[in-house]
A and B are shown apart, each in its own frame.
Chain A
Amino acid sequence: AAGVIQSPRHLIKEKRETATLKCYPIPRHDTVYWYQQGPGQDPQFLISFYEKMQSDKGSIPDRFSAQQFSDYHSELNMSSLELGDSALYFCASSSTDTRETQYFGPGTRLLVL
């Protein structure tokens, strides 16, 4: 079965650069979630989109923005990167048919130097 696809899987950036992470949800899933997981920490919810509209907002910094496109894929844009942004970024998708069970992607590991 198709799973959530994230790209790139690994990314290295320098401070103050920008980065764009992409997420392709499972087909027919209408909701996408973004999480940030620092080393040895719990995943922190950043933001979610339902039917291309922002549905919930968590601890997403103002330097980050995200959107969901007409084909339901989502992009997380990160600007003015800081060393503390180094983390594993997970995308998850769900559909109302699956009782909101979130299916996680493999994650994008971002390293800011």
Chain B
Amino acid sequence: KNQVEQSPQSLIILEGKNCTLQCNYTVSPFSNLRWYKQDTGRGPVSLTIMTFSENTKSNGRYTATLDADTKQSSLHITASQLSDSASYICVVRPTSGTYKYIFGTGTRLKVLA
């Protein structure tokens, strides 16, 4: 079972609409949780990074939230644009262990005109 699971696996929305992507993790304790945007065939681009003590972090139209009690994070995209079409990956860094960066399963978002 993946320690970082995301939902939905894929999502299609119309341009201008809002959407929320979910990330559930079992990694504990962890140092920080990050959200990345990855265009097909390109490197991931960091959107937000939150420590376990932070609840929310914004970056333009992207807002990430973190609930350490329920081990859930969400990424909210406001007023979506065609260029938001990409994969969104949740990454958790545990405080110990061999694997320092655990990547989630990703959500593939498609924004239609």
Interface residues of A (CB under 8 A from B): 4, 33, 42-45, 48, 56-59, 88, 90, 92, 99-107, 109
- Ranked nearest first, the 3 interchain pairs of A and B with the lowest CB-CB distance are A104-B43, A42-B103, A56-B100
Interface residues of B, count at CB 8 A: 19
B49 & A43 in contact (Cβ 8 Å cutoff): no
Interface residues of B (CB under 8 A from A): 32, 34, 36, 41-46, 49, 89, 98-101, 103-106
A45 & B44 in contact (Cβ 8 Å cutoff): no
In this complex, the member of A44, A45, A88, A109 whose beta carbon has the largest number of chain B beta carbons within 10 angstroms is A45
A107 & B45 in contact (Cβ 8 Å cutoff): no
A99 & B49 in contact (Cβ 8 Å cutoff): yes
Q: Which one of B41, B44, B49, B104 contacts A104 once the chains associate, using CB atoms below 8 Å? A: B44
B103 & A43 in contact (Cβ 8 Å cutoff): yes
Knowing A42-B89, A102-B46, A103-B46 are in contact, say whether A88-B41 is a contact too (CB < 8 A): yes
* CA of A88 to CA of B42, assembled, Å: 9
